[in-house]
Amino acid sequence: KSWQDLTSWEIVKALVRKPVAGLEWISNLIEASTRMGEFMRARDKGKSVEEAAYDAVEITLNFGRSGATGQQINRMVPFFNACIQGGDKLYRLFKTDPKTTMLRIGTYIILPSIVLWAANHDKDWYKELDPAIKMNNWILPGGSIRIPKPQEAGVLFGSGFEAVLDAAAGQDQKAMGEWATTFLENMTPGVMPTLILPLIEWVSNYSFFRNKPVVSQSMQRLPDELQYGPYTSETSKFVGGIAGVSPAKLDNLWRGYTGTMGMFLIQAPDLWAADKQNLPAKKLSEMAFVRDFAINDMNLNRTMNDFYRLKEAAAKQHAGYGKKGKPTAEVAGVNVAAQSILKLQKEAREITASPKYNSVQKRALVDKLQAKQKKIAQLCIKKYGNKFDY
């Protein structure tokens, strides 16, 4: 039977037996409900069945619209055609009705972006946001919830205005460059076949979807089996510990082949495992599924990312121009900060594994150590940031 022919009880049983297929069905149902609503509105306005059907297809991205070449590439590179069609639809909207299109963009994209920027821009948590998160999402006041922006118009116009305001206010001189990079990445379709992309990311230690290392610089010096963060699944930690491979890379490999639904399933045992292993307590914003719509510590990493770029720039300068064993005062200062942060990270791992504290106590202690790391990084950037090109 198809999903449409099942009774309510049969659907429930099927969801339990085949959770991946069930989640896919729910996703398709939400997509279809949007199109059906548009179809009914068009019919109420007196449009023909053909016209209403066309409006329903075009209300969101028309995934069926493609050329012969796009169809062939899309078989090996999912979302290749979706990326092409997103830009094409924006172009067609401006070509067909530029005034209405610009009015809607101004009302539903530019205005909310400016209002939220005005509410958030002077807050410390907003300044700490990962640029990729900031550019691709609207962040509600308070910094707890993020809403994805439209991939094309949302980043081009919404994030574009935010970047101009950040630069004009002297708050972020890199904002325009980060906006341009994000927009180009969103408009450029991937070309690597999905079959081998996760393996390439494993070998290169770089996520082309997230545009950052799979194993962060802070973890690269650790043994492979210890390369995991607070959001790495317990399943990957278990397998990584046995096989001696990086849990962070295992998570990325699984995500690459199964997507968001697969990650949701592999993270399902996390709550049980965390309780059994007495791991640091998690906030609601860090829970599986919830963290995809919330702001958490993983997203508030601007300072630490800048610090590691500064550290890399200092190492390159010393390797290229410095004398062996005699670093300049600036390079030495960055190295001292890096060693201090490394010690704090080791202390946090020891607390996480210690049986002396409960999960709530561990969380409080780890949070304090992370705050110390960020403070050291901020002082280092303030003192030496203008000495290196990073």
**Residues 222-273 pLDDT 10s:** 899 999 887 788 899 999 999 999 999 999 999 998 887 788 788 877 767 6
Alpha-carbon distance of 372 to 178, in angstroms, equals 27
pLDDT score recorded for residue 387: 92
pLDDT score recorded for residue 215: 92
Residue 388: closest CA among 312, 301, 303: 312
Q: Which stretches of the chain score pLDDT less than 50?
A: none
CA distances from 49 to 29, 43, 65, 367, 372 (A): 21, 7, 19, 58, 63
DSSP designation for 294: B
Residue 367: closest CA among 337, 344, 388, 386: 344
Residue 216: closest CA among 66, 373, 14, 358: 373
Structural tokens at position 191? 């070309």
CB 177 within 8 A of CB 183: no
Structural tokens at position 73? 């590439």
Burial class (CB in 10 A: 0-12, 13-18, 19+), 191: exposed
Phi, psi of 87 (to 5 degrees): -65, -40
CB 149 within 8 A of CB 109: yes
pLDDT score recorded for residue 375: 97
pLDDT score recorded for residue 13: 65
Alpha-carbon distance of 289 to 217, in angstroms, equals 26
Alpha-carbon distance of 110 to 103, in angstroms, equals 10
Alpha-carbon distance of 295 to 302, in angstroms, equals 13
CB 76 within 8 A of CB 194: yes
